[in-house]
Amino acid sequence: MAVFGVADTLRPESARAVASLKSLHVEPVMLTGDNPATARAIAVQLGIKDARGNLLPQDKQAAVAELLGRYGSVGMVGDGVNDAPALARATIGFAMGAAGTATALETADVAIMDDDPRKIADFIRLSRRTAAILKQNITLALGIKAVFFALALSGVATLWMAVFADMGASLLVVFNGMRLLRR
């Protein structure tokens, strides 16, 4: 007579990934097809408060819809066919590409190609920096155009001012955007 216990092991980078998400004020929620006891056990190790188990694909999709109603935007991370409906329903879907199915990869908005969950937080950081720089660039370009327009209406504008307002603003916007290349 023998008793065998089989369980998924926690990946070492998972705890750091959850901690990184929390530092970005992203509240992680676990949606899994595994039994609820297993989901709770893993969630406790990771510090995830909301863990839901025994979910079928339509249950995951309904959970994402419920979270969308509560938070306004939801990112879903998945790698299998069972995750595809929830990936499609989420504001942004992340497929874990190395082990992911073709269906998950095609459905998701973003593919993380090396299955490192820490890349999700990196993606969010980069997206937030990109949005901030885009807003700066729009403000900068419109501000330069507005100043030139005021100068033109007052009769003070010259051809060189017009060139700077056009090409100078374009160059400033490009150089400001290149700041994203730095880490």
3-state helix, strand, coil in the chain (%, to 5): 60, 10, 30
Average pLDDT, the chain: 91
To the question of domain 12-124 being in CATH 3.40.50.300, the answer is no
pLDDT at 125 over 80: yes
pTM value surpassing 0.85: no
- Work out the percent of the chain whose per-residue pLDDT is above 90: 74
- Provide the pLDDT confidence category of residue 2 given band limits of 50, 70 and 90: confident
Round to whole Å and give the CA distance between 81 and 171: 45
The tens digit of pLDDT for each residue in 45-101 reads 999 999 999 999 999 999 999 999 999 999 999 988 999 999 999 999 999 876 668
- The confidence score (pLDDT) of residue 57 equals 95
> 173 is written with which tokens?
């916007």
